[in-house]
Structure 1
Amino acid sequence: MPISRLSDLSDRALAPRLVIKVGSALLVGKEGARRRWLTALVAEIAEARARGQDVIVVSSGAIALGAATLGLEKGGRGSLADAQAAAAVGQIALSGLWAELLGSHGLTAAQMLLTLDDLEDRRRYLNVTATLTRLLDAGAVPVINENDSVATQEIRFGDNDRLAARVAQAAQASAVLLLSDIDGLYDRHPKEPGAQMIPVVEGVTREVHAMASTESNSGMGSGGMVSKLQAAEIAELAGICLVIGNGQHERPVARIIGEGIGTLFLPRRSASARKAWLGGRLRLKGSIHVDAGAAVALRRGSSLLAKGVTGVEGHFDRGDPVAIVDAEARVVAHGLSEYHAGECAAIRGLHSSEQAEVLGYSPRSSVVHRDQLVLK
């Protein structure tokens, strides 16, 4: 039986493996690390472990802690160099804090610092999966953060919401719990009169995206509701539930799960492990635009043929990940291209019988094969 309500997250049979994401504003205050709050959260993690559940922590806070130590303005986010320097200093303090508090419950903390490329490259992604599996089998609690001391704007997640969802995919987790500064997803900006929180969302649709606010109330973190919905989409591809809940309370997990206060995103589908990885990629090499007929065919499970291609953007080679975009500028799917960008452009709109003369060799069966494609 799948997860259907928040209380199910405390059931070992329904949720054997949890990913808990902690935001910067929850972990770091004006006076530094919020030890009392974190001590209570670690106790909840220990309780989950005692129930037989695996727990993976995705923890922000390194930049904020390092900025305070170095005296950097804007919380260490004034420039990329400031953020990298702050992260280098703060990560030591952050990992030490988690190790100390988890150790007080007899639990071993294991630090993993990841970049976007670690989860975008297929081989490195599988290495992450193997490491997480071994750590959990050994009884450790992995504590994961983006490697901000080396990540640049081009190769970074930018927020730990999406990182948490990608880690959940790699670890084959049951659910992701995003501890935030808000109770959940509201049908409009929560400050507007009459705004209501939505307890359950079955699939992230365009209507759900329209409800999101880009604001982060704390001003300390880098993710708002938009990034959380993107995280829910990434989790959904792998059949993983995601929860947005308020972490500002003492023992926040008990409040969310025990009292049922939060938004539970239920997946509508579950792709294969490879397709979930492909669909969750955040960095694509280009896009292939298609006509209405091709978009319909793709949604029915067909491969993308050159006849339905109307345009090509970007510079990509054969095997590179691309977005497939319909006539209304909506992303229909992600897939691995069978041609490089120039070839795609050259054969767009052509039947297979016409492509050999243009290409100089027999055309492949499709531009993007359905086995290398995942719908969005």
Structure 2
Amino acid sequence: MSIFDTVLERQDTDSAKWGAQSPDILPLWVADMDFAAPKPVIDAMAERLKHPVFGYTRPDDSVYQAIIDHYRLNHQATVKKEWIVFLPNVNVGVNLACRIAEGQLMMTTPIYSHIYMRLADESKKQRTVVPLLCENGYYSMDFQTMEQKANDEHIGVFILCNPHNPVGRVYTRSELEELLVFAQRHDILVVSDEIHSDLVLSGHHVPFFSLGEAAQERSIALHSPSKTYNIPGVPIGFAIIPNEKLRAEFAHQSYGLLPGLSAFALAALKAAFTDCETWRQELIAYLQENQKYLRKRVASIDGLSLKAENEATYLAWVDASGIGVEHPYRFLLEQARVRLGDGAEFSDKQFVRINFGCPRSILEEAFDRIEQALELTI
């Protein structure tokens, strides 16, 4: 039995995932796994609690080094200490980064709900949306349409979600290089949300800034240990900004807006990036098996289909248009008592996003409920 098979009671833990709906509803929606955080992370926060003073906190050199070593060992990428800017989370970083450049936001859809639903308003910019292409089970950026839009409109920022949420793509080096050429041609800042980069199930993540000096001059990368090590309730993230001018502008935008850093969060980040590699590999292996199970169940249920397989993340983008209802999310919530991610919040209400970062027994129950509900309807 895997440690990830353990079902943890979460109803009375102030969990947004489990407490935001009726107790009879099974939640597989928000990107919050149902696994215990790794022991070294828990131990690090507990150790910090032993000191009775919790004053204003700053990262010491060991925290910076943990990030530098993590990128060197896991992504074969060089990060310098001065490039790192700490944040409470990735969403704040994406918002601040988008305020730096003039012009509109360009984003490819479907895309993470916060980016799709809120980012333009938060950063006070107009948005330009370009749907991803999906051919032969493979999502990709539509560079032809992106070029047309960039020629017609004043695009200042491109939002890269890599690995992609919700379609699970891990963009190849050649795709990223094509994006870099596009960004150079139109003088566009690439804001790269890479929060799922340590949850690659197949392939290899290439940080956008690692493409070289040209990418470093026009990019801001955002990352956090929150998704991989299941600590989204511990506020910590960081930006990697090689360009000194961009870094100064980012700091100017953030002045007076960011809270102080949490001593517990810094301890958690350091432990996650230095002491949890075995745990991370075991997690990835478990998610790979959950993915296989999900793929098998989706294929066996009339009305559901997978347009593409996940290369990363514990989030599956499932086509539910075959159910034949106006809003599959609402139907499955009401009839199956399973709460999935509402595809409308990612740009397409005929899809649902399924979080398979949970014990297999929970995933099995969710699909049993879905299958039973659809058998009574279709």
Shared topology, TM-score over 0.5?
no
TM range (shorter): under 0.3
- TM-score normalised by structure 2 residue count: 0.26
Structure of higher CA gyration radius: 1
- TM-score normalised by structure 1 residue count: 0.26
Higher relative contact order at CA 8 Å, sep ≥6: structure 1 or structure 2? Answer: 2
